[in-house]
Amino acid sequence: MSQSSASADIGAVDYSVKIPNNVGLVNDARVLKALEQWHPGYIDWWNTMGPEGFQTSDVYLRTAVSIDPKGWAQFGFVKMPEYRWGILLAPQDQSRKVHFGASQGEAAWQDVPGEHRASLRRLIVIQGDTEPASVEQQRHLGKTAPSLYDMRNLFQVNVEEGRHLWAMVYLLQKYFGRDGREEAEGLLERRSGDKDKPRMLGAFNEATPDWLSFFMFTFFTDRDGKMQLESLAQSGFDPLSRTCRFMLTEEAHHMFVGETGVGRVIERTCEAMKAAGIEDPTDVAKVRALGVIDLPTIQKKMNMHFPLTLDLFGSEISTNAANFYNAGLKGRFMETKIDDDHRLTSATYPVLKLVDGQIRMVEEPALTALNMRLRDDYVKDCQGGVNRWNKIIEKLGIKFQLKLPSVAFNRHIGEFRDVNASPDAKLLSDTEWIKMKDQWLPSKDDGDFIDSLMQPCWGLGRYAGWIAAPKIGIDSKSGDFEYVKIHAA
Ligand code: BYC
């Protein structure tokens, strides 16, 4: 990659300074200094909490060299601790307005409005906290990678989550003074799953024990990332909007990794079943004897990751969400494309609630139902991916359909957190739940079986027996390309 000084191209990234950026850091001594002071702590965090065992390997990674949608990625071998993490914002639109809430129609804010400072800081810190958390959750996975291709994708996702942390830290350092600097330190201090200093949101303290979990996580949880970033990209606070818009271009690859990852596991299972003449997908023992993951277990993994991610949307009815919207800080998915008043003072929205012990749809004020609305948009987006997985199963002639469980199933936040519900939304007693739980969620046996398959497979062009090869390589590389030179030290 060319590391020359800032080019005159619009959107070009300045690699001449320690912290690559397209925000003119070279002329912003205060923020540059703050970021340079934060940098060693970040590298220390990366070296201790980033991918375990591969810090000296050469990895075929893409790095953003411009924010131009067509030309921003450049591929090359990089040792991860030397990755050029930087500050990249989508271009500023001078005519951009606040699109929603009480300040609708005002020019978008280039600085933080005093009255919204605490809320904005909180949103940015929560977003920032998820990024290093996911790297921590995935740090041990390299060791059991089912191919060099998958290993490289894992590391690409990890370095980009690292960059997303930088993105939020830039906003904190630039716009929030001393408390921003303290929050930036806090982001390096919390740890996923730590009893005393956990990450802020539930799903980011769960383990990612195996590669199927990783693919489910990048399908389901990174998709929450997409929905939340889309909502924050609508923000009246323009630097947050511009940051999130660029982050979204990177997020797309993470969901690709998830969707195609699970798709390739499904494909391999169905092919192995066909080759062995097994027609009954629920004959778990026979399917497992082929060394592939049976479809009911894939369904159980979905049943686990989907509700964990639904919890990330907060409560269905939320005054926080209403306040964020009213203040012009966090909009709806595709806010500018929605045809209404963008104030929501009298509109209603249907919300699934628990009423007199039954799950019912109830009309609620649209303003307080914004988390529910975003979650509905998310569920639709997930359903599209599940439909594509089901097409793979159908095409290979196996009679089985994967299904998203009900939004009431296995919840820990919101309306359904205190009830037991089956995947098809029947309410259950504690005794019934305990009896049935292992049929719906991965049991210890399921975990042990998947674990037994997690053996490294790092030969050139080789793939573990439980996952199909991808249709096409990264950056159009050939099937036997050495995406990670493991012993490069
Ligand atoms: N866990 O009004 P409520 C990503 C708290 S993922 C723990 O119901 P609100 C990524 C809440 O903070 C996207 N606590 O919800 C993916 C509040 O506490 P306070 C990350 C929770 O505030 C993969 C109280 O409960 N970005 O990028 O409307 C890899 C009542 O809250 C949880 C964002 O989330 C929970 N699950 O919405 C890498 C965007 N849920 O204030 C990255 C920024 C709620 O009473 N965050 N609480 O102390 C937000 O927009 C909102 O904070 C939330 C919650 C949507 C998370």
**Residue 323 above 90 pLDDT?**
yes
Q: What pLDDT, on the 0 to 100 scale, is given for residue 276? A: 98
Question: Is the shortest distance between the CB of 127 and ligand 1 below 6 Å?
Answer: yes
Tell me: the pLDDT tens digits for 79-108?
Answer: 999 999 989 999 999 999 999 999 999 999
Task: For residues 143 and 194, give the distance between their C-alpha atoms in angstroms, rounded to a whole number.
Answer: 22
Which residue of 163, 172, 201 sits with most ligand 1 atoms within 8 Å of its CB, as the best mutation to test the pocket? 201
Q: Is the pLDDT assigned to residue 9 strictly greater than 70? A: no
Helix (H) or strand (E) holding 484: strand 484-485
Report residue 175: phi and psi, to 5°. -110, -5
Q: What is the average per-residue pLDDT within 59-66?
A: 89
Residue 216 has pLDDT above 80, yes or no: yes
Measured between its terminal Cα atoms, the distance across the chain in Å is 21
- Tell me the residue ranges of DSSP E strands in 5-93: 58-64, 73-79
- Ligand 1: residue of 120, 126, 206 to mutate (most ligand atoms within 8 A of CB) is 126
Tens-place pLDDT, residues 236-269? 999 999 999 999 988 999 999 999 999 999 999 9
Residue 4: the pLDDT is 36
For residue 269, which of 478, 143, 403, 450 has the smallest C-alpha distance? 450
CA distances from 66 to 22, 147, 169 (A): 8, 30, 20
**Closest residue by CA, ligand 1 atom 44:** 314
The two tokens of residue 364 are 């609620």
Provide the strand spans (E) within 300-437. 348-355, 358-365, 420-421, 427-428
Residue nearest to atom 2 of ligand 1 (CA): 318
Q: Does the beta carbon of 310 lie inside 6 Å of ligand 1?
A: no
pLDDT one-digit tens code per residue, 122-151: 999 999 999 999 999 999 999 999 999 999
> Could you count the other beta carbons within 10 Å of the beta carbon of residue 276?
13
- Interior/surface letters 344-354, b for 16+ CB within 10 angstroms, e for the rest: beeeebebbbb
pLDDT tier for residue 489 given thresholds of 50, 70 and 90: very low
CA distances from 449 to 289, 297, 453, 466 (A): 10, 10, 7, 12
Report CA(199)–ligand 1 centroid distance (Å).
11
The whole-number pLDDT of residue 431 equals 97
462-484: pLDDT as tens digits: 999 999 999 999 999 998 999 99
Q: What is the DSSP letter of 110?
A: S
Task: Tell whether the model's pLDDT for residue 15 goes beyond 90.
Answer: no
Rounded to the nearest integer, the mean pLDDT of the chain is 94
Pocket lining: 221 vs ligand 1, CB cutoff 6 Å: yes
| Rounded mean pLDDT, 206-225 | 97
Confirm or reject: Cβ of 251 under 6 Å from ligand 1: no
Q: Is the per-residue pLDDT at 3 higher than 50? A: no
Give the span between the Cα atoms of 106 and 328, in whole angstroms.
10
pLDDT digits (tens, 9 = 90+) for 176-204: 999 999 999 999 999 999 999 999 999 99
Residue 17 has a pLDDT of 80
Q: What percent of the chain has pLDDT over 70?
A: 97
Residue 287 alpha carbon to ligand 1 centre in Å = 39
Ligand 1 and 222: CB distance under 6 A: yes
Residues 188 and 408: their CA atoms lie apart, in Å, by: 34
pLDDT of 2 over the 70 cut:
no
Give residue-wise pLDDT tens across range 25-54.
999 999 999 999 999 999 999 999 999 999
* Structure confidence at residue 70 (pLDDT): 64
| Tokens read off for 158 | 């990890």
Q: What pairs with residue 363 in β-bridges?
A: 350
Q: Provide the 8-state DSSP code for 66.
A: B
Among 36, 183, 166, 37, smallest CA distance to 89 is for 166
Site to probe by mutation for ligand 1, drawn from 192, 315, 368, 375 as the one with most ligand atoms within 8 Å of Cβ, is: 315
Q: What is the mean pLDDT of residues 398-403?
A: 98
SS3 147: coil
Task: Please check whether residue 56 is in contact with residue 489, taking contact to mean a CB–CB distance below 8 angstroms.
Answer: yes
> Tell me: the pLDDT tens digits for 334-362?
999 999 999 999 999 999 999 998 999 99
State the distance from the centre of ligand 1 to the C-alpha of 314, rounded, in angstroms.
Answer: 5
pLDDT for position 380? 98
CB distance 323 to ligand 1 below 6 Å? no
